[in-house]
Amino acid sequence: MKYPRSFLAAAALLAVSGASSAVTISGFTLPDGSSVITGTVYENIVTGVGQTLSGYGTVGQINGLPLSTYYSGELTFTFGGYTVTSFSSPTNVTFSGGWINFYADASADFNKDVAASAGDGTLFLTLAGRGLTSTNVNNGGGLLQGSGNGLADVDFTGTANGNTAGAGAVANGFFNNNAYGGADVLFNTSYTIYSSGSSLTPGGGPGVVGSADLHVTPIPEPETYALMLAGLGVMGWMSSRRRSR
C-alpha cells in the first residue's frame, strides 16, 4: 500500500513526539514538560536577623504519583545558606541566598532522624537560591504554621552561597533553562513550627516540618532535539517537493 508523502512526514513527526515524552537521567525518568516534585522537609527554627535556615528531606511524589513511578530508588535533598534579612515576629520572614542539593540513591535508606541519610547517593542537582520569603500564622492551637516561596538557578559549580557539594551533578544540564521568570526552578513550601518538639520532628526536638513543591521543566536530551529537527526537515522537504511540481 502506498501512502501520501504528507502522511509519511506526519507519521515521522508523531513518532518523534512519542520519543520525547520523557526525559531519562541516570535511570531517573521525568515526563517531558513541566513537573512538580513534592517532598517532605525538616528544618531548623530561626528567630532573628542573621540566622541561617538549613535542613533536609526526601521526595515522595512527582506530579501526584509516587516517586517509584519514575525511579526505583530514593531522591533526597539538603539545603542551607538561607540567611534571615528581615524578621517580623512571628509573621513575615525574608531570606537571602541559599542552596539546594538533590541526591539520587539506589538504596532507600532515608531516616528523618539521621540528617546524613539525605546526602548520600549520586549528586543529582545543585541549585543556587535567590532567597526566600515566608509568612507565619498562629493556627489557634498554640502552633505556628506558615508558607513560603522562592526561586533558584542551576549551579554548575556547586559552590554558590556557601554550598560545599562541588561540581558534577548529573542532572544540571537538563534543568538550566530559565523557565520561571529567568530562574530555573520555582518552589513553594508549607510547614508547621514545633517550638517544644514533636514526634514528627527529627529526634523529637524543636524544629520545623513541612512539605515543598519544586516546579521544574526538564530539557529533552540532545538526541531528541536532533530527531525533532529531522522530522521537521522531512516535512519541509515534502512541502518543497509539492510546490516544485
pLDDT digits (tens, 9 = 90+) for 130-177: 999 999 998 777 789 999 999 999 999 999 999 999 999 999 999 999
Q: What is the pLDDT of residue 53?
A: 97
Per-residue confidence band for 21, with pLDDT thresholds at 50, 70 and 90: low
Q: Name the percent of the chain lying above pLDDT 90.
A: 72
- Quick one: average pLDDT of 107-135? 96
Q: Which of 50-59, 64-73, 218-227 has the lowest mean pLDDT?
A: 218-227
* Percentage with pLDDT > 70 across the chain: 81
Which residue from 111, 135, 125 is spatially nearest to 25, judged by alpha carbons? 125
Mean per-residue pLDDT over the chain, rounded: 86
Give the pLDDT mean for 66-70.
95
Residue 26 has pLDDT above 90, yes or no: no
Beta carbons within 8 Å of 103's beta carbon, 6+ residues apart:
75, 76, 77, 78, 118, 119, 120, 121, 122, 123, 124
d(C-alpha 3, C-alpha 8), whole Å = 7
- Residue 23, pLDDT score: 87
pLDDT digits (tens, 9 = 90+) for 211-234: 999 999 998 754 444 344 444 454
In the predicted structure, residue 237 carries a pLDDT above the cut 60: no
In the predicted model, is pLDDT for residue 210 greater than 60? Answer: yes
| Residue type at position 69 | T
Residue 20 has phi, psi (to 5 degrees) of: -100, 20
Contact 129, 99 (CB under 8 A): yes
d(C-alpha 239, C-alpha 222), whole Å: 26
What integer pLDDT is reported at residue 138 of this predicted model? 86
Model pLDDT, residue 82: 98
Q: Which of 30-39, 49-58, 108-117, 224-233 has the lowest mean pLDDT?
A: 224-233
Which pTM was predicted?
A: 0.83
Does position 32 have pLDDT exceeding 50, yes or no?
yes
Mean pLDDT of 83-90: 92
What is the per-residue DSSP string for the chain?
A: ----HHHHHHHHHHHHHHHTSEEEETTEEEESS-EEEEEEEEE----STT-EEEEEEEEEEETTEEGGGT-SSEEEEEEEEEEEEEEETTTEEEEEEEEEEEEEESS---BTTBGGGGS-SEEEEEEEEEEEEEEEEE-SSS-EEEEEEEEEEE-SSS-GGG--S-S--TTHHHH-S-TBTTBSEEEEEEEEEETT--TTSGGGSSEEEEEEEEEE-PPPPHHHHHHHHHHHHHHHHHHHHHHH-
